[in-house]
Amino acid sequence: MSTNQKNDANPIPADLREAAGLLLPGHGDLGTIAGAPGAIRVETAQGPARVTRWAPGTTEARIEALHDLFKLRERPGAGFLPVPIGAPSGGASIALPGGHRYEARGWLPGAPATRDPLIPGQPLPNPISVDHVSAAARAIATLHTISVPVARNRAIPAVPLTTLHRQTAIICRETKDRLLPLVQQFPPMREWVRAGDRIVPLAADAIGGLLESDEKRLVVAHAGLWPEHILFVREQGTPVVSGLAGWGNSVVSSPLVDLAQLVSRTRGWSNETIEAVVENYQDVAALAPLERRSLPLIVALDLLREAARLLDIYMRRDDGVFKASEYTLAFNALERTLDALDAILPVIEGFDAPTPKKGRKWVHRPRREA
């Protein structure tokens, strides 16, 4: 990930400076991280590291459980996990006055596959190549496979698909109520309202089917799969995931959470993208038939949520919170998200049909043997 050395425009927050001194005594230079206001890069004698400020209320046990996951990075294919760095006094993190906890981990190599500008604190969907999406799907499958024992640790919050659905329905209702006077003035708002009216009830049916089946499973989901958090290097000309950053949203949930985010936040919805994600995931981990069949609706839920957030950002363009160029970025991302919603609607219309539509054979493809 890109960094900025300390300067007048990007000062190191005082609490992160203090945390770095306590977690990594004798450290060298400090630097900010583009798009990550709650973290800094720290130079040490052992190499660069990252110090992260966790959200208020994050427990020591949760960070400890996440470090247990990071310790599995020696498993085949799991080198994208960061190296956990324990606190000198023991444990995985420290607390400072103000309600935050802080932890350190090794610096991840590589860079995101997108070079688009960022809005501080507001991640954006950005297109990356199919090759990069395929590599990310394999890495996510590895994460899900090795994380099953850690997923049993109750310190990591559980967010089942039913909770995700309920949260999305609430976000849609509140956004619709808040922005309803603008519907007639802003055609994209009307598109989003129509999509939500169809997707939310259909997704409830899909999630209900998953809960009643024997195919449900729980993993540690990264749950923050933005293009800026997926780092790549090239090995013999092929992209390989070298690091996953942005673990602040990690939860115990269905593997469909990560797969949906990978689709919706990189290339949107297309046959090519979904084929790449499903096939490459199944090269490493199993995906049950009902999970594959339900995936488009979980993708649609994520698209709805992110469109609501982007609508809210853009419709506040006169309040001066962001720069004019940042509102343009939000609008461009909103257009891509609405295009993806438009593309996925014909697919989910056939969710409860007895036979898949023509061209949707991937839904029932068994796992490909290695």
In this prediction, residue 356 has a pLDDT band, given cuts at 50, 70 and 90, of: very low
Asked if 83 and 209 sit in the same domain, the reply is no
Asked if 148 and 255 sit in the same domain, the reply is yes
Helix intervals (H) in the chain: 14-23, 60-70, 130-146, 148-151, 161-179, 187-212, 256-264, 271-282, 289-315, 324-348
Please tell me which residue, 118 or 106, carries the higher pLDDT value.
106
Residue 117 lies in a domain: no
Domain with residue 100: its CATH number is: 3.30.200.20
- Total domains in the fold of the chain: 2
Interacting residues of 256 by C-beta distance below 8 A, sequence separation 6+: 161, 291, 294, 295, 298
Determine the pLDDT at residue 1.
56
Residue 370 lies in a domain: no
Asked if 33 and 140 sit in the same domain, the reply is no
**CA 327 vs CA 189, 198, 226: distances in Å:** 16, 28, 19
What DSSP string describes 92-111?
Answer: S-EEETTTEEEEEEEPPPSE
Asked if 175 and 84 sit in the same domain, the reply is no
For the purposes of burial, counting CB atoms within 10 Å of the CB of 237, is it exposed (0-12), middle (13-18) or buried (19 or more)? exposed
Residue 123 lies in a domain: no
Place of tokens 């109750």: 154
CA dihedral 186, 188, 190, 195 (to 10 degrees): -170
Q: Residue 359 pLDDT more than 50? A: no
Parent domain of 32: 3-108
Instruction: Report pLDDT digits (tens) over 89-100.
Output: 899 999 999 889
Predicted model pTM: 0.90
Asked if 86 and 207 sit in the same domain, the reply is no
Interacting residues of 11 by C-beta distance below 8 A, sequence separation 6+: none
Asked if 306 and 209 sit in the same domain, the reply is yes
For the ranges 23-32, 53-62, 243-252, 321-330, which has the lowest average pLDDT?
A: 321-330
The pLDDT of 137-144, averaged and rounded, is 98
- How many other CB atoms are found less than 10 A from the CB of residue 79? 17
Residue 257 lies in a domain: yes
For residue 37 the two structure tokens come to: 């206001």
For the ranges 4-8, 249-253, 319-323, 335-339, which has the lowest average pLDDT?
A: 4-8
Asked if 181 and 327 sit in the same domain, the reply is yes
Q: Residue 259 pLDDT more than 70? A: yes
Q: Residue 186 pLDDT more than 70? A: yes
Q: Residue 128 pLDDT more than 90? A: yes
Determine the pLDDT at residue 2.
53
The pLDDT of 93-119, averaged and rounded, is 93
Asked if 163 and 283 sit in the same domain, the reply is yes
Distance, in Å, from the CA atom of 309 to the CA atom of 312, rounded to the nearest integer, reads 5
- How many other CB atoms are found less than 10 A from the CB of residue 271? 12
